[in-house]
Amino acid sequence: MSMTQVHPHIFVIMGATGNLTRLKLFPALYKLFEQGVLSGKCVILGVARKSDIDDRGFRKLAHDIIKNTNIKIDDAKFSNWCNECVFYQSLGKASLEDYKKLATRIDSIEREKNLPGNRVFYIALPPKAFSDSVTSLGESGLNRSSGWTRLVIEKPFGRDIVSAQKLNKLIHKYYDESQIYRIDHFLAKETVQNLLVFRFANTFFEHLWNRDHIEKVEIIVSEKLGIEGRANYYEQTGALRDMISNHLTQLLTLVAMDTPSGLDASAIRNEKVKVLQQVKPIQADNIVFGQYSSGKIDGKAVIGYKEEDGVPENSNTETYVALRLEVPNGRWNGVPFFLYTGKRMSRKLTEIRVHFHCAPGSIFQPFENTCILEPNVLFLTLQPDEGISLRFHIKSIGEPLTLTTKDLHFKYSEVFGSPPDAYETVLLDAITGDQTLFVHSDEVESAWRNYTSIFEMSIPLKYYPAGTDGPIEAKKLAEKL
């Protein structure tokens, strides 16, 4: 989390009555207030098209949002905070005139609260609304102010290389790259941030971080949840656009990148982009698309994707993707990277697994070039329990000689307590102007160049029962070294 000084500002949420605001933004902002990080320095202005809400109604909504979380609040203290810091502005039909009214309201609040003109605009809207919102903010003059102005945009950023380039060009018409914060909350997980420290501050592991010692790398994001009533969004997106092109790709770059020249955002971004530019073109036989059918999760029957509300009976949208990638450079040539993501899986898990080669000529191998032991594996777990573990072999007590496998582990919760929510981290970084955990336009376009061709391929859809680990074809892909 950024340690940079927080300057007084107004935090404008575009789409303030949506799910993202309820589930992530308001709880994260309130926690930052509770911790004293934003106390006396941040005013929140919720913006949405609903005209039947005013300041008082939005404050009640904020109260209900926090009440539905596990955050303990003092009602009197919370009410005082809302009255002082929380406001609402209807955007009506979202016309240019409505945006000019929004600009007038922001000016009014800044005068009332004696704010210096520092502004954060968080676009918590569906992807199809990004362009119109950015254009209207720019045309109404809200892209500039007497202080600094920052624009935060959620993923997915574009649908392919063409749309991503078009969106970047539009945004750059009104905003400098230094003002733009393309959010990927996965990068704010403590384990992800610690990956840089783990690799580059520990000589032992950095010395092993190459093709001579690593057999393969797996990056896994599995979810027990389905589409949760978001059929309209998911039918337009699918697992490749929703997860692979952003979250898992960002994890790939951090695992595969070379040593940056420094810890600043620019230096890290340069190395991440190099990885993306070096990815070998992906072939159809290295891709598995899946879609969940009915099954059981935690003993409870769940419906298949095609039975979800709003999903067409003939939908070919993938809810699962497995990819085999190669980065044929000096460090990684010959090492496969496997990316897996899926909905309605057997468990919730986000994890990076680094598999090391078997020991050459081991005295525990009865035959030459035969590995009878499970290789050492490094696990970097992002959720549900953030931490790092290393699987290795030891001798069991007694005779005859017997080997067993154990894990040497570190968990954040055991050492530091519960880590902050990822949105607390990225919101504070956007507020303080730290772009390290955000995605640059070069990264977005470089990532899409690797995946856009897949949309033109005819990838057969494989089905897997909900509550399982995905299609059997994905297991066969994993065996392809």
Pairwise CA distance, residues 462 & 451, whole Å: 19
Concatenated DSSP letters of 81-106: HHHHHEEEEE-TT--HHHHHHHHHHH
Q: Which amino acid is at 325?
A: L
- The encoded tokens of residue 131 equal 């362009």
Mean pLDDT lowest for which of 168-177, 266-275, 373-382, 451-460?
A: 373-382
Tell me the per-residue pLDDT of 21-31, one tens digit each, with 9 for 90 and over.
998 999 999 99
Tell me the per-residue pLDDT of 454-478, one tens digit each, with 9 for 90 and over.
998 999 999 999 999 999 999 999 8
Tell me the per-residue pLDDT of 21-57, one tens digit each, with 9 for 90 and over.
998 999 999 999 988 899 889 999 999 999 999 999 9
More confident residue, 98 or 399: 98
pLDDT of residue 397: 83
Burial class for 171, CB neighbours closer than 10 Å (0-12, 13-18, 19+): buried
Catalytically active residues, by annotation:
247
Averaged pLDDT for residues 217-226? 96
pLDDT of residue 252: 96
Superfamily of domain 187-419+440-478: Dihydrodipicolinate Reductase; domain 2 (3.30.360.10)
Q: Enumerate the domain spans of the chain.
A: 9-154, 187-419+440-478
364 falls in which pLDDT band (50, 70, 90)? low
Averaged pLDDT for residues 180-185? 88
Averaged pLDDT for residues 344-355? 95
Alpha carbon distances (Å) from 288 to 319, 323, 328, 446, 477: 11, 7, 22, 22, 8
Tell me the per-residue pLDDT of 121-155, one tens digit each, with 9 for 90 and over.
999 998 889 999 999 999 999 999 999 999 999 88
Pairwise CA distance, residues 390 & 281, whole Å: 32
CATH of the domain spanning 9-154: 3.40.50.720
Pairwise CA distance, residues 455 & 3, whole Å: 42
Pairwise CA distance, residues 251 & 339, whole Å: 10
